[in-house]
Amino acid sequence: MSNSSLSCMRKISPMQSGRKSHAVTRITPHCVVGQTSVEWLCEFFYSSGKEASCNYGIGVDGRIGTIVDEIDHSWCTSNWDNDDRAVTIECASDTFHPYAVNANVWKSLVNLCADICQRNGKKKLLWLGSKDKTLSYNPKTDEMVLTAHRWFDNKSCPGDYIYNRLGQLAKEVNQKLGGEPAGPFKAYQGQVNADDGLNCRTSPISGNVLKTYPDGTVVIISKEDGNWGYTGEGWVCLDYINKIASAKDPATKEEEIMDGKQFNKLFNEMRQQWRDNDASKYSEAARKWSVDNGLIAGGSSKEFNGMWEDLMTREQLVMVLYRFAQWIGKV
Ligand SMILES: [Zn+2]
């Protein structure tokens, strides 16, 4: 069996068991817990020495790499039976709950799953919703089933973002495979995935900018025109919208994801500022605040600086807490 022609590079990891002894009947998507490039993924599984691998890796821009040939048994799911039947796919994701993947990665995941099904003679990808149902199900010769890492190990992988969308994944793949008609358009919730925010325009492509949705905002797309979606206020480019298929409580969800995204952003910003500034001065307000609020014990010296030289890690931590507290309005 061949590898996917959607893959743009092949760097074979030594962390694997050679030929599978079973035919491919499963696909198992995973989350990387990092918005990494495909080059990084290939190199990591090739040379890190970590006893882990996957058949394919999808980098943050959606490009795909082959890390263990599809016909071979990767070390990905903490379960021999699964890895002996599954094509395993690591997807670049956020580092925090719910480990969201961006629209590029999602599109590539859909295309790759469809391609795997086609080349393995499968007409339908199934999501059965639970471990028990899935493992007791005997797939027909033209069926492929989705499985999840969390079923086999004490892990959250593939993260709630992907896990809650496995039904959506099957649906989109089956539409590509031609087994299910696309059906009439239905409004859906989508989340903005663009660090600098997403422009909302009076019309697709070149309309005037009405407003900019901050990263993480949840909008309802009520109609589509090509690669553009209407939010009720104007048009946004769907390259920067992640579909939320099954959000039952969008308000909570949005806030949760915003907090995580914001925390991550502040952390990265803080690290850069830390490099660019005189650390002791830069963190003074944060240290004072954390002592005043009883988060950590202060030093005996009147100056805040004295005791801190050997506590850089703790200092960095309180900076993050401080900035986060500022952001949520607690300081
Ligand atoms: Zn995993």
Whether residue 256 is predicted with pLDDT greater than 60 in this model: the reply is no
Whether residue 252 is predicted with pLDDT greater than 60 in this model: the reply is no
CA of 158 from ligand 1 middle (Å) equals: 6
Q: Which CATH superfamily hosts domain 188-244?
A: SH3 Domains (2.30.30.40)
CA of 295 from ligand 1 middle (Å) equals: 35
Query: What are 182-222's pLDDT values in tens digits?
Result: 667 778 888 888 888 999 999 998 999 999 999 888 888 88
Under CATH, what is the fold of the domain 7-177? Lysozyme-like (3.40.80)
CA of 111 from ligand 1 middle (Å) equals: 20
pLDDT at residue 98, rounded to an integer: 86
CA of 28 from ligand 1 middle (Å) equals: 8
Overall average pLDDT of the 4-17 stretch:
96
In one-letter notation, the amino acid at residue 75 is: W
pLDDT at residue 311, rounded to an integer: 45
CA of 238 from ligand 1 middle (Å) equals: 28
CA of 249 from ligand 1 middle (Å) equals: 26
Distance of CA 276 to the CA centre of its chain: 30
CA of 32 from ligand 1 middle (Å) equals: 7
How many CB atoms are located within 10 Å of the residue 330 CB?
Answer: 10
Query: What are 28-82's pLDDT values in tens digits?
Result: 999 999 889 999 999 999 999 899 999 999 999 899 999 999 999 999 999 999 9
CA of 306 from ligand 1 middle (Å) equals: 45
CA of 76 from ligand 1 middle (Å) equals: 6
Out of 77-91, 93-107, 126-140, which region has the weakest mean confidence (pLDDT)?
A: 93-107
CA distance 231 to 189: 9
Domain locations in the chain? 7-177, 188-244, 250-327
CA of 157 from ligand 1 middle (Å) equals: 5
Query: What are 226-250's pLDDT values in tens digits?
Result: 889 999 999 999 988 877 654 444 4
